[in-house]
Amino acid sequence: MAIAAKPERPLAEVIQRNATLLGFSYGDYLVWIAANVHNMPELAPQPTKTLETLDGLNPQDSPADVDDYARGSIPSIATLREMSHQIAS
C-alpha cells in the first residue's frame, strides 16, 4: 500500500535532513517514525546509519552536504514514544 504525503517546507526539510543522516529514503523515514510512534518497531525499516554513528561524527569528518545539518533534530525512539502518548491523549 502506498501513502503519499506533502508536508509544509519546514517539516519537509527536517524529514529530508534526518532521512539522509540515517541513510533512509524519505518515505522509509516516515514509516520508521510512524512504526515507532505506534509501538510497532518490528514493522519499521532499519536505518543504514545509527544515532550512535552520528554522535561520533565531527563536522570536519562529515561530508560537505551534511556539515550544516543539526544532528540534534533526529528524534530518539523514547521521544517518538512520548509523542505518541501526547497524540493519543
pLDDT tens profile 34-47: 998 888 999 999 88
pLDDT at 71: 45
- For residues 51 and 6, what is the distance between their CA atoms, to the nearest angstrom? 26
The pLDDT-based confidence of 64 (bands split at 50, 70, 90) is: very low
Model confidence pLDDT, tens digit, residues 14-27: 889 888 888 899 99
Q: What are phi and psi for residue 39, nearest 5 degrees?
A: 60, 40
Find the angle CA(23)-CA(72)-CA(13) to the nearest 5 degrees.
60
- For residues 67 and 2, what is the distance between their CA atoms, to the nearest angstrom? 32
pLDDT at 63: 44
Which of the listed ranges 17-26, 58-67, 71-80 does the model predict with the highest average pLDDT?
17-26
